[in-house]
Chains A and B, each alone.
Chain A
């Protein structure tokens, strides 16, 4: 019977698998003739229709099937697919719930219902279903599902404002009751135990948590599960069990061979907590003694009863017992500190140079002692400097020595630094780079020298240093195959750092050219080294050589989740280099490629959350939900989205219908709480203390939440005008601008002012409701409300006061944005000021080019002016649109249309001037003299080593100049197209 059934369905499945959806539909139809109500076949047909892009038919059939409330496993499984593809995920839940209601004894259906709730994040429903499952089927797993769901609900995990909800205590107490009444104890697995401890910790029931941990089973779980042990440490800390922590860590280090740095740190931290506690206790004792002497006038201090709360002698010492000093811990601070010193010294001796833990712990301890002594106004002991030098002598043959020492060098005082720098100088003079160890030592010396000196660096210093780094690089560069990482690589990175620094000091562009030559050369000798490529990407972009930048980025093979953290490397202000108007979709493609991961996240991460439930890994679930949220609401995601919009609308016909959808999307994005996942640490930074190479090589100030918010609001406001609908974004620029300008370049600020000019100068057209606008979009007939007389508000200030803008709620600044109270921005809005924006932009582009500023800045001004032109088109759409649906009759709109035309014509003139400027630049960049000039600027490198001579420098120059030419030419032509097209 079953076999027969399978035989019948097989052709359908085969057709679906092979992508022959038409055949699949035909087969379904044939079979349905005989059995019109066969549920599985009907569901498969819906799936086939969907795959064949027959959405309407699919939807109809899908609705019919859902109305019949199916309960069959197979049908439900197929329908889950169908609904997911139709973006109707919430209905999956209803479908399973209906099925489970019909068959309450079907455990599988119940579990599926639970999972469907988890999938959409409705923790509350999940909790209820899971409890029901537990009561019906008695499996402890369901009880724990319910507990976990309650915890997620209390945390509002994945919600708009994650964090504890108001009813968290009720939920958590409920969860606690469930866990304590569970038929299985929580110590059955680390994950059950973790869940139990999490609940207790969140409820602040630290004593109970402590007791669980100290049980035999609890101790064992802490030993075998790092997750549980992490939580244990947090609980000890919250409870103030510093003595217990100190004893435990001490035992682990001295007796159990533990060398986890976290154990060292925790031992030091908790010991200092013990010191503090002891001191506050003895203070309390003294106070108590003093007060008892005061009140009674008698009694030696030792008779006074110690109390826990300061100066409050009424607390019963029996109820709040004084924490008894641990038998293994002395009370005197000095004894405690000496104890640690001895331990670390002993470990360092025992482990020798194979293990850095004990050695570095001595440094960490001295740093803490130093802070303590300073805090008490005592003279600073000089042990730290000695230890730093000792550590250097022991471990400077390891790459990580510099990183290890950084935090300790940073706490050295001026006098000590002088001695330290002299020490480094000796080391540099005694260099021997014939071995890898000697080479590593010299690299560490160089890095530490850059970091240690506190005086401002000069051009001459950076020149000399970069030459020294390069000289060592060429001396040390061995004959390893280029597929190997070269031990000398960091010397080239150091040289690039110094050269960028020289550029920062002098703004002499040839230093950047030199940096590129060094990076390209080193990269050719060590193809695997991604740091060269990261740096090259950034320098190439500063020089407007986008092609080699993108090419290096692609060679790094950034993929999967890395596109979220690393695509900023090429997409930060990526629209500056978009040649989309002339048909080069390279940059738009990069945006699309970088955005795929977000779809993957939406479709796959929820499955993994379900999996964690199935395998009862409760320690992972909150983390997974947070991960999903971080990626879903990634700052980079929406920066890319906006960059994409800015690239795209230069080429597409602007239609209110399309803009309305875009508007809603942008409004949705504006509501998000974003997470910044971008990785800037991949930019290798060896700049002097307090400087960041990532910042120095950023094309304009690094963008963040504020930039996104301002640009989103700008476009929301413009799109709303274009579609003639209301929006909650304020009309007064200052409400969203004041204090949020710190992430804008000067030219972006000017662009914003221009947007305000447009907003105030172009009269707001009569608005229609969202419903009417949407209905117009979907073609439904709705009485148009756009027949009102136009509002006249072209007078400049108080824009759109009569159209209800004023009544609208100003969107509150996102909580993560701090207002810094800069001066309010005001504009004078008129035809003249609108035109003047373009005139100024043309003048500025020319001035920047004439002054020899970086080419990216010229491109930036040019693309913003082009964008301003598009913005003008967008905002004036109600007056210019010829499309039937959105055509409105605005009485007396003639003068508006006329002045719009004036601005457009004059703007076009100025844009053409910018285009000509770019064409001129492109021509110059293409001339052969430019190459010679470029290579000449790199002559200093050739002096260090002939390998960087004219030939190699020339090849880099050629590549760079060609790329610059491409950008300028493309932008120039693109501007003409945009001007002509709109």
Chain B
């Protein structure tokens, strides 16, 4: 239960309680406004009844022909609002828009291979590992590093248009590409 509304430019003044969390990066103004200037309908905010920001998602649409898809660039929920199913609601909406407005084949996202919790959550939402991108992330200061910290899984969920289910493959975890090959 929350207000689901469009992400707006002045939300940059409001997102501190979400972004002060260690796992959420704060980017330049242009980063956010670029998303809003191109895919405003894929940028959403969850707000508590008292107006506090609970979380947000920033997405985009990209790719050619059968690779045309919705992409989740950032999804985050403030610590105090976790385990309320907010991420799922935002993903549902993003998938709906990717289908109804953009007519994409699938939605995808990147996640650290070591982030088992998140991977399980996305699998629960119908995503599966499509491939592994080597050295996609930089090491986090407080982590040991290592392959699973730095590599990303590219996880995909087919949308109705992907009738052949090309965005799902059982051996995705074994297919490794380099960072340069990733879009």
A residues neighboring B (CB under 8 Å): 190-191, 224-227, 230, 259-262, 354-357, 359-360, 398-400, 403-404, 406-407, 483, 485, 527-528, 530, 556, 558-562, 564-566, 597, 600-601, 604-605, 607-608, 611-612, 614-615, 617, 619-620, 623-624, 626-627, 630-631, 677, 679, 681-682
Nearest CB on A from B56, distance (A): 13
Known: A679-B14, A682-B16; 6 extra A-B contacts, CB below 8 A, are A230-B6, A398-B83, A400-B81, A617-B37, A624-B36, A681-B17
Beyond A224-B101, A403-B50, A624-B33, is A615–B38 a contact (Cβ under 8 Å)? yes
Complex contact A530–B4 (CB within 8 A) = no
Nearest CB on A from B4, distance (A): 5
Residues 69-85 of B contacting A (Cβ, < 8 Å): 79-81, 83-85
CB neighbours of B13 from chain A (8 A)? 561, 564-565, 630, 677, 679
Nearest CB on B from A677, distance (A): 5
Beyond A360-B1, A399-B80, A483-B142, is A227–B40 a contact (Cβ under 8 Å)? yes
Beyond A559-B26, A565-B16, A681-B17, is A230–B37 a contact (Cβ under 8 Å)? no
Complex contact B21–A530 (CB within 8 A) = yes
Which secondary structure dominates chain A's binding surface? helix
Nearest CB on B from A971, distance (A): 31
CB of B177 within 8 A of chain A?
A: no
Across the interface, B49 reaches (CB within 8 A) one of A224, A360, A617, namely A360
Report the nearest A residue to B27, measured CB to CB: A560
Of the four ranges (under 10, 10 to 19, 20 to 34, 35 or more), the interface on chain B belongs to: 35 or more
CB of B182 within 8 A of chain A?
A: no
Q: Fill in one digit per residue for B2-20: 1 if any A CB lies within 8 Å of its CB, else 0.
A: 1111101110111011011
CB neighbours of B79 from chain A (8 A)? 485
Complex contact A623–B26 (CB within 8 A) = no
Complex contact B36–A600 (CB within 8 A) = no
Nearest CB on B from A720, distance (A): 35
Beyond A226-B4, A406-B50, is A190–B41 a contact (Cβ under 8 Å)? yes
Complex contact A601–B29 (CB within 8 A) = yes
Distance in angstroms between the alpha carbons of A597 and B27 in the assembled complex: 12
B residues neighboring A (CB under 8 Å): 1-6, 8-10, 12-14, 16-17, 19-22, 26-30, 33-34, 36-38, 40-41, 44, 48-50, 52, 79-81, 83-85, 89, 96-97, 100-101, 142
Nearest CB on B from A42, distance (A): 31
Distance in angstroms between the alpha carbons of A28 and B56 in the assembled complex: 50
Across the interface, B36 reaches (CB within 8 A) one of A530, A601, A612, namely A612
Distance in angstroms between the alpha carbons of A428 and B26 in the assembled complex: 39
Complex contact A617–B29 (CB within 8 A) = no
Distance in angstroms between the alpha carbons of A191 and B40 in the assembled complex: 9
The CB with the most chain A CB atoms within 10 A, among B27, B41, B89, is that of B41
Beyond A224-B41, A400-B84, is A623–B5 a contact (Cβ under 8 Å)? no
Sampled A-B contacts (27; CB under 8 Å): A224-B41, A225-B101, A226-B4, A227-B6, A227-B40, A227-B41, A230-B5, A260-B2, A261-B2, A262-B4, A262-B5, A356-B1, A357-B1, A360-B49, A400-B80, A527-B142, A560-B26, A560-B28, A560-B29, A561-B12, A623-B36, A624-B9, A626-B9, A626-B10, A679-B14, A681-B17, A682-B17
CB neighbours of B5 from chain A (8 A)? 226, 230, 262
Complex contact A617–B36 (CB within 8 A) = yes
Distance in angstroms between the alpha carbons of A428 and B85 in the assembled complex: 28
Complex contact B97–A261 (CB within 8 A) = no
Across the interface, A620 reaches (CB within 8 A) one of B16, B20, B26, B40, namely B40
CB neighbours of A607 from chain B (8 A)? 30
Complex contact B38–A611 (CB within 8 A) = yes
Complex contact B41–A562 (CB within 8 A) = no
Nearest CB on B from A436, distance (A): 10
CB neighbours of A356 from chain B (8 A)? 1, 84
Distance in angstroms between the alpha carbons of A938 and B34 in the assembled complex: 51
Complex contact B36–A604 (CB within 8 A) = no
Report the nearest B residue to A677, measured CB to CB: B13
Complex contact B26–A561 (CB within 8 A) = yes
Distance in angstroms between the alpha carbons of A556 and B44 in the assembled complex: 25
Across the interface, B4 reaches (CB within 8 A) one of A260, A354, A565, namely A260
Complex contact B48–A627 (CB within 8 A) = no
Give 10 closest A-B pairs by Cβ, nearest first.
Answer: A608-B33, A356-B1, A627-B9, A357-B1, A530-B20, A612-B37, A611-B37, A623-B9, A528-B22, A226-B6
